[in-house]
Structure 1
Amino acid sequence: MRLTRNGSRGQPNADWRELNDGQILSGEFVISGRDTPHFRCSAHDVFDIYAIDYSPIRELFLGGAVRGSCLCGEVEFQLIGNPTKIYQCHCSLCRKQGGSSSNSAILAEGNNFRWISGQEKISSYVKPTGFRSDFCSRCGSPVPNPLRTTSYYWVPAGLLDDNVSLEVGAHLFIGSKASWDATSSSVPQYETMPELSEFFELMHSRS
């Protein structure tokens, strides 16, 4: 699949990469490919397509896709665009959920997340406080779930099938970490949970 600027005689145009830097494209473009309808669109239309979650085109703009799955492979999902940061939460709930010192997770925007298979295999447990844990009913692996009232998905980083270069962007609830947790890092650490706006900005900022 390729994106070309209309009038460029079919030569691939790399300007679409500017989207990843938050720049605005101008002019008219042609999107075509084996699995993609061939059509012309303006830069404004590109953003409209981007918003309706047409995966082949979203992959073009966001740099491919990453797949993930549970332990038994029944539940599969895909992240559009390559994630770069994870966070680690050290609260007691996350420790019990994952059975380790913390959970390592990715914040994925809802438009960049899609299920591939196995949604019918997912069970949920919700505490009275609202803490939610979704898991595969066959193997017990924690699986992605919507993050409260936001447009994001919580995605356990250990479920990714592809080898992705990730870095820890933040440690949360350091004040609640286990006595045997030897976490030491130069990245931001929070005693509890930062404001969501600050947290989202931190997790999606470029290093």
Structure 2
Amino acid sequence: MLLEGSCHCQAVTFSVKSSHPFPFNRCYCSVCRKTAGGGGYAINLSGDSNTLRISGKEHIAIYQAVIDGEQSTGERHFCQRCASALWVYDPEWPELVHPFASAIDTPLPSPPKLTHMMLGSKAEWVEVNAQIQDKCFYAYPDESLAEWHQRLGLER
């Protein structure tokens, strides 16, 4: 599925092909919460980094979080003008790029189930609206974005 996205001020637009377009994986970690906001969590999708096309590259900045005293290899791309979180790229997995669902303009399919992850980092004010079919994890889930889509037969 071709995903098209943008920042709030439209200075940056992008597209990327994704076999895993269901926005199911809600991350409550402090990095996602503070850099992407969105109800106390962020939702990342998965895309093929070779298909990423960007307009407005000159408006993009990169943030690498410090986690447990070490700089993360993950590069969080955001618009310098409006601060919209756009995607995460990690050179440890060069074939992947993880756009934030909040930056995607293409209508996304509705996931049949959700995964709530990093609940151990959740802010006190955040209410988790987990349904009975959802999975919840104190830290990282037991399956990847690709494995979740594959298990449910949802690859596109």
Same fold? TM cut 0.5: yes
Q: 2:13 aligns with which of 76, 89, 96?
A: 76
Residue 13 of structure 2 contacts residue 55 of structure 2 at CA under 8 Å; is this kept in 1? Answer: yes
What is the rounded CA distance, in whole Å, between the counterparts of 1:116 and 1:175 in structure 2?
A: 35
Tell me which moved more, 124-133 or 137-146: 124-133
In the alignment, which residue of structure 2 is the partner of 1:86?
24
C-alpha spacing 1:147/1:187, structure 2 compared with 1 (3 Å): farther
What is the rounded CA distance, in whole Å, between the counterparts of 1:171 and 1:69 in structure 2?
A: 25
Is structure 2 residue 95 aligned with structure 1 residue 95? Answer: no
C-alpha spacing 1:175/1:145, structure 2 compared with 1 (3 Å): closer
C-alpha spacing 1:147/1:170, structure 2 compared with 1 (3 Å): farther
Letter matched to residue 122 of structure 1: I
List gaps (5 residues or longer) in structure 1.
1-63
Residue 70 of structure 1 contacts residue 136 of structure 1 at CA under 8 Å; is this kept in 2? Answer: yes
Letter matched to residue 46 of structure 2: L
Is structure 2 residue 132 aligned with structure 1 residue 189? Answer: no
In the alignment, which residue of structure 2 is the partner of 1:155?
99
Q: 1:121 aligns with which of 53, 59, 62?
A: 59
Q: How many residues align?
A: 141
What is the rounded CA distance, in whole Å, between the counterparts of 2:76 and 2:5 in structure 1?
A: 17
Higher share in helix = 1
C-alpha spacing 1:66/1:127, structure 2 compared with 1 (3 Å): closer
C-alpha spacing 1:169/1:108, structure 2 compared with 1 (3 Å): farther
Give the SS at the match of 2:52.
strand
Query: If the length of structure 2 is used for normalisation, what is the TM-score?
Result: 0.76
Structure with max Cα Rg: 1
Query: Taking CA–CA contacts closer than 8 Å with sequence separation of 6 or more, which of the two structures ends up with the larger relative contact order?
Result: 2
Letter matched to residue 88 of structure 1: R
Q: 2:123 aligns with which of 170, 178, 189?
A: 178
Give the SS at the match of 2:147.
helix
The two structures, once aligned, show a CA RMSD in angstroms of: 2.3
Report how far residue 169 of structure 1 moved: 4.0
Sequence identity percentage: 26
Report how far residue 133 of structure 1 moved: 2.5
